[in-house]
């Protein structure tokens, strides 16, 4: 079973982060498997598929939500046969019908290798950063 290298994991993670920062729906969701799951601290329940998250995202966008900036720091890549874990601290600024807001959160993205030795995200977990300004707002 193929173990991805750090460069490939960072490239896959950066593609997701860059698409999120641009509020580029198609490119963002292309980074996730159809059966990916998502745990976001502001949401009342886990999202059990990409389709569930896409529906939530569509509602946000329809209400005027968009990402203004997204910065990744404190990055860690851990590889294993068949996949990898990417974790980082992410600072996000958004605009919405409620006005601008900024958040500092921790995020983990779990990738699995594809048949062509590429990477696809199968799980994303977002959590607060204790004591960080704007965390979880």
Q: Strand 119-128: give its sheet, edge to edge.
A: 32-40, 119-128, 101-113, 83-95, 66-80
Token code pair at residue 116 = 């062509």
Helix boundaries (H) for the chain: 6-21, 25-30, 50-62
Per-residue pLDDT at 135: 54
Asked whether 61 and 23 are in contact (CB, 8 A), the reply is: yes
pLDDT at 137 over 70: no
Residue-range domains of the chain with CATH: 6-128 (3.10.450.50)
Mean pLDDT for the stretch of residues 23-43: 97
Per-residue pLDDT at 131: 81
Asked whether 128 and 91 are in contact (CB, 8 A), the reply is: no
């Amino acid at each position: 079973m193929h173990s991805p290298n750090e460069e490939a994991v960072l490239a896959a993670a950066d593609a997701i982060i860059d698409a999120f920062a641009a509020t580029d729906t198609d490119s963002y969701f292309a980074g996730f498997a159809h059966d990916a799951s998502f745990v976001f601290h502001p949401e009342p329940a886990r999202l059990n598929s990409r389709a569930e998250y896409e529906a939530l995202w569509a509602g946000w966008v329809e209400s005027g939500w968009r990402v203004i900036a997204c910065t990744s720091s404190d990055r860690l890549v851990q590889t294993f046969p068949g996949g990898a874990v990417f974790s980082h601290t992410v600072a996000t600024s958004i605009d919405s019908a409620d006005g601008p807001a900024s958040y500092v959160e921790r995020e983990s993205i779990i990738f699995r290798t594809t048949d062509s030795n590429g990477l696809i995200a199968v799980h994303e977990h977002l959590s607060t950063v204790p004591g960080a300004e704007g965390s979880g707002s």
